[in-house]
Amino acid sequence: MDQLKQLNDRIISRVNVNLSEFDFDTEGFVTNALDYEKMLKFYAFYGITSHHPIYFHFKNSNVAGSYFLGKCYVGRSAIYKSDIRGDELKRRGDNIRCAKNIPLVEDEMITIRDSLLYKTLVHSNSHNLESPEQFGIHNTISAHYVNIHGSTLEGCFLGPFATLDLMNLHSCIVGEFAYVQAGELFHRKIDPGTVWIRNQSFEFKYKFKKEVLKKYVGINSSHQPRGIIYDFVKEREHDYEKLFDVMNLEPIKAPKSSAVNRYAVIQGRTRIGENVLISQRAFLDNAVMGDGSNAQENTYIIHSTLEGLNVTAHGGKIIHSNIGLETFVGFNSFLNGKPDASIKIGEGCVVMPHTIIDPVAAIKIPDEHLVWGFIGSVEDIKTNTIALDDLAEVRESLKIGKMVFNGKGSVFIDAFKRRIAQILLTNGALFENGEKRGHAQDDQNISFNIIQPYRTGARKGLYPSVRIQP
């Protein structure tokens, strides 16, 4: 285990140097998070399809329980039970749109160096114009259930259940359960529970009350996550581990136009419609997946119905809920309905990332509403939702409860609508008569291959340096 321990010490020192101005030490988190024996237990696996370029290079690293797709390089890093998803990497010959188009001279690659990604999702939709052929994560530590969605990182620490969306960060700390989509940030510290979206036309900002955040996502004395949302996920971890105990499973019944990943958990009387995508590490139990809906990585849909053309973004949790047509449920949202306190979200709604709905009685959100923050009762709907038509009338600023919006509401809504439409198209929800193929169709014939670490000797816990290519 000596070399594995040296690897983690190296990662700690690299990240600490980048964050020295904050007097922030990552050793406490790493020491209490990593169990070296567990890092021996789980094999890593990579997917091969005819629709994605293949190139994997692992060197001086541990990649236990992690999934890789596309073109990936991992060097001097520990990637534990993480998903490194390269199915939207740009290709040689593509043009990157800016003031003047930038043509790519080679395929884009995910490169992870001197980093620890712990139960983290990386999704390859980078918008970094400075390195269009490399989606980089360097000198960075991410904690439990972080979403790195198209965000390049250098020298950062990301707290549990944080989401970085379509941006670039340098020497930043992002607190637990914070969601940030704000272009490019340098040497910033984002408070826990902050939801912040900013561009040239608008800015949306919300911050959870400390007592609410502490109840749902907090940090204990060992720098590890705690709270209702963490307990919810932890209780179901064992169901995922069962998937690694066998190599071949009976395929889940689904229409020919839909895809159910081999590393998804499907339980109860779950029904799957046409053009449905169920990604790896999704968890479905007594779920109804209407036509064109999807369950992205680390999502949970339990005793719930998605009417159709629904997007459940990475980490979204939907329990005892009915979600109307063409409704978006954002990253790491927690819709915690109960048999006697169900949740109904109307058609065409946008549930903002990191929204918590945990009602004591049944609640209903009307059609075409924006939803954010914390909703625990019917009264909270007034201070945490707005009709999209009303938001579209905003020209300068709006304050409702703890939410502050500045800019043009119509531009904000249009940006979300266009992104949702693009997600549906990319995921194959609109597939018809052989046209508009997406992930749901391209992933049907994926094959998985495994790699395992050294079990003895000085390299125990490290994976052999290996290069896999066509």
Summarised one tens digit per residue, pLDDT across range 279-338 is 999 999 999 999 999 999 999 999 999 999 999 999 999 999 999 999 999 999 999 999
- Do residues 452 and 434 share a domain? no
Domain that holds residue 155: 2-228+447-468
**428 within domain boundaries:** yes
Token representation of residue 136: 């980089």
Token representation of residue 25: 């030490």
d(CA 267, CA 283): 8
Q: What is the pLDDT of residue 122?
A: 98
**455 within domain boundaries:** yes
CB 428 within 8 A of CB 434: no
- Report the candidate in 348, 300, 301, 304 with the shortest Cα–Cα distance to residue 324: 348
pLDDT band, very low/low/confident/very high, at 199 (cuts 50, 70, 90): very high
Half-sphere exposure of 41 (CA within 13 A, CB side): 11
Q: What is the pLDDT of residue 248?
A: 67
Q: Which domain CATH number covers 294?
A: 2.160.10.10
d(CA 315, CA 281): 10
**245 within domain boundaries:** yes
d(CA 79, CA 68): 10
CB 165 within 8 A of CB 147: yes
pLDDT of residue 444 exceeding 90? no
pLDDT of residue 14 exceeding 90? yes
d(CA 152, CA 144): 18
**410 within domain boundaries:** no
pLDDT of residue 233 exceeding 70? yes
Of 35-49, 143-157, 366-380, minimum mean pLDDT range: 35-49
Token representation of residue 388: 């999209």
Q: What is the mean pLDDT of the chain?
A: 94
- Do residues 196 and 250 share a domain? no
Task: Give the 3-state DSSP-derived string for the chain, with helices as H, strands as E and coil as C.
Answer: CHHHHHHHHHHHHHHHHHCHHHCCCCHHHHHHHCCCCHHHHCCEEEEECCCCCCEEEEECEECCCCEEECEEEEECCEEECCEEECCCCCCCCCEECCCCCEECCCCCEEEEECCEEECCEEECCCCCCCCCCEEEEECCEECCCCEEECCEEECCEECCCCEEECCEEECCEECCCCEEECCEEECCEECCCEEEEECCCEEEEEECCHHHHHHHCEECCCCCEECHHHHHHHCCHHHHHHHHCCCCCCCCCCCCCCEECCCCEEECCCEECCCCEECCCCEEEEEEECCCCEECCCCEEEEEEECCCCEECCCCEEECEEECCCCEECCCCEEECECCECEEECCCCEECCCCEECCCCCEEECCCEEECCEECCHHHHHHHEEEHHHHHCCCCEEEECCEEEEECHHHHHHHHHHHHHHHHHHCCCCCECCECCCHHHHCCCCEEEEECCCCCCCCCCCECCEEECC
| Mean pLDDT, range 158-167, rounded to an integer | 97
Q: What is the pLDDT of residue 97?
A: 73
Of 176-180, 241-245, 308-312, minimum mean pLDDT range: 241-245
pLDDT band, very low/low/confident/very high, at 49 (cuts 50, 70, 90): confident
The total number of residues shown for the chain amounts to 470
**244 within domain boundaries:** yes
- Do residues 195 and 61 share a domain? yes
> Residues 6 or more apart from 36 whose CB is under 8 A from it?
1, 4, 5, 461
Of 33-42, 55-64, 147-156, 399-408, minimum mean pLDDT range: 33-42
**406 within domain boundaries:** no
- Do residues 149 and 254 share a domain? no
**401 within domain boundaries:** no
- Report the candidate in 73, 108, 113 with the shortest Cα–Cα distance to residue 87: 108
Q: What is the pLDDT of residue 22?
A: 96
- Do residues 253 and 194 share a domain? no
- Do residues 193 and 250 share a domain? no
| Mean pLDDT, range 257-265, rounded to an integer | 94
- Do residues 451 and 435 share a domain? no
**411 within domain boundaries:** no
Q: What is the pLDDT of residue 99?
A: 67
- Do residues 259 and 361 share a domain? yes
Q: How many CB atoms lie within 10 A of CB 124?
A: 22
In degrees, rounded to 5, the angle at the alpha carbon of residue 245 between the alpha carbons of residues 239 and 250 is: 80
pLDDT band, very low/low/confident/very high, at 247 (cuts 50, 70, 90): low
Token representation of residue 466: 């290996």
Token representation of residue 303: 């005793």
**Rounded to an integer, what is the distance from CA 196 to the centroid of its chain?**
16
Q: What is the pLDDT of residues 341-384, one digit of tens each?
A: 999 999 999 999 999 999 999 999 999 999 999 999 999 999 99
- Do residues 364 and 391 share a domain? yes
Of 242-246, 276-280, 373-377, 416-420, minimum mean pLDDT range: 242-246
What is the pairing mode between strands 218-219 and 225-226?
Answer: antiparallel
pLDDT of residue 249 exceeding 90? no
Phi, psi torsion values for 213, nearest 5 degrees: -60, -45
Number of domains in the chain: 2
- Do residues 180 and 246 share a domain? no
CB 470 within 8 A of CB 50: no
- Do residues 174 and 276 share a domain? no
- Report the candidate in 213, 249, 248 with the shortest Cα–Cα distance to residue 230: 213
pLDDT of residue 406 exceeding 90? yes
| Mean pLDDT, range 212-220, rounded to an integer | 96
- Do residues 206 and 251 share a domain? no
Q: What is the pLDDT of residue 96?
A: 79
pLDDT of residue 221 exceeding 90? no
